[in-house]
Chain A
Amino acid sequence: MAYTAQEILEGLAEIVAEETGLPTDAVVTEKSFTDDLDIDSLSMMTIVTHAEDKFGVRIPDDEVKNLATVGDAVSFIEGAQAA
């Protein structure tokens, strides 16, 4: 069964919180991973890997640079699981 956008956001927030120590409620759709959440490229890859495992999707390395905001990542994962 596919995850809803809200479920993806909540799951992603847990992954980000685990990696960064930020509270989960800081991880909202409009936040930029780099500018707002201070996540560097290596932490981003860790988050992507855990998101792939959690949601059963593949996020190509080349795609990661397009995931600027939390909302971008939620949309990509939502689309990838539908594909």
Chain B
Amino acid sequence: MSTRKALRQAEPVRYSRILAVAGERGANVVTNDDVAGPIDSSDEWIRQRTGIVTRRRADAATDVLDLAEAAARKAIDAAGLTGSDIDAVILSTVTYFHQTPAGAAVLADRLGATPAAAYDISAACAGYAYGIGQADALVRAGAARHVLVIGAEKMSDFIDPTDRSISFLLGDGAGAVVVGPSDVPGIGPTVWGSDGDKAAAIRQTHSWSDLREDPSAGWPTLRQDGPSVFKWAAFQMAPVAAKAMAEAGVEPEDIQVFVPHQANMRIIDQMIKQLGLPDSVVVGRDIADTGNTSAASIPLATERLLAEGLASSGDLALQIGFGAGLVYAAQVVVLP
């Protein structure tokens, strides 16, 4: 009787970390006055309810992959790597126009990362934090050495200027990081989940099949139940962020930086209160000038804090993404 041969499995790596972060914002600055007219609003109303002063939106000729490519090139360069060093590309976006193939594969080719594994994930505003959770797992499992994670959105392709619920918040941009092996812990456990019972809270007005059946339905755009989403985000997400700290073995006093998804300044302020973060914690508030860029917002806010010297390499940062699904993910990371 012959014995079956034992498999070899990938050798795990002990730790992972973010090696570099970079971003690319839409080229145009769009003021509150620019968006206030069709929603019968004002600069003051928008600032008071959202904290947004301007948002960045891309040119018509720039698509979501262009934004993703620009951010990714900077991140790979900042990590001291080249495209060929990348083993996996994870693109989080909800604004790529092709059902298939995945934007990540096209992006990998543009970056010279072929034949990296490449796939898109759909987790809306939580997509970047989902991607970090996956990249951490891939690196530590030995499935990939260097993983490129990009959150990229051209939200302006899915807005209705007359919509008072979400359109005026949205901006365009991309944030990218490279995750790789580390000698010391660099990415805490990801606390993640979903609540599909609230699928309608942030939604597309109608499906592509509805549009096919009735072309007069027009281009689908986004809507949200703002107050409900605020309540969920401000009060139910703080415990998720607290759990991410607990699982990483740190207290609020140990955190130097807090980078929540840039959905609304009022949500950010309420989360800080709920979490009991000390005043010494530096908070990402990129939403004021960039708007809500969905999956791109956390890496964009992070790269800005680092670029402006408000945060430093080695700082412990608590990050949490949350959005349409509803879905959420949080982790504590060491900043690159």
Contact = CB atoms under 8 A, between A and B. Distances in A.
B235 interface: yes
A46 interface: yes
Contacts of A45: 227-228, 230-231, 234
B107 to A, nearest CB: 37
B49 interface: yes
A40 B49 contact: yes
A49 B273 CA distance: 14
Given A40-B49, A61-B231, A46 B226 contact: no
A20 interface: no
Interface size class of B (residues with CB under 8 A): 10 to 19
Interface residues of A, number: 10
A12 interface: no
Contacts of A44: 227
Contacts of B264: 42
A61 B232 CA distance: 10
A61 B235 contact: no
A48 B226 CA distance: 15
25 contacts: A40-B48, A40-B49, A41-B226, A41-B227, A41-B230, A42-B49, A42-B226, A42-B227, A42-B266, A44-B227, A45-B227, A45-B228, A45-B230, A45-B231, A45-B234, A46-B231, A46-B234, A46-B270, A49-B231, A49-B234, A61-B225, A61-B227, A61-B228, A61-B231, A64-B227
Interface of A: 40-42, 44-46, 48-49, 61, 64
10 residue pairs, one from A and one from B, having the closest CB atoms: A45-B231, A61-B228, A41-B227, A45-B227, A42-B230, A49-B235, A42-B266, A45-B230, A49-B231, A40-B49
Given A41-B230, A42-B230, 8 more contacts: A40-B49, A41-B226, A42-B226, A42-B227, A45-B228, A45-B230, A46-B270, A49-B231
Interface of B: 48-49, 225-228, 230-231, 234-235, 264, 266, 270
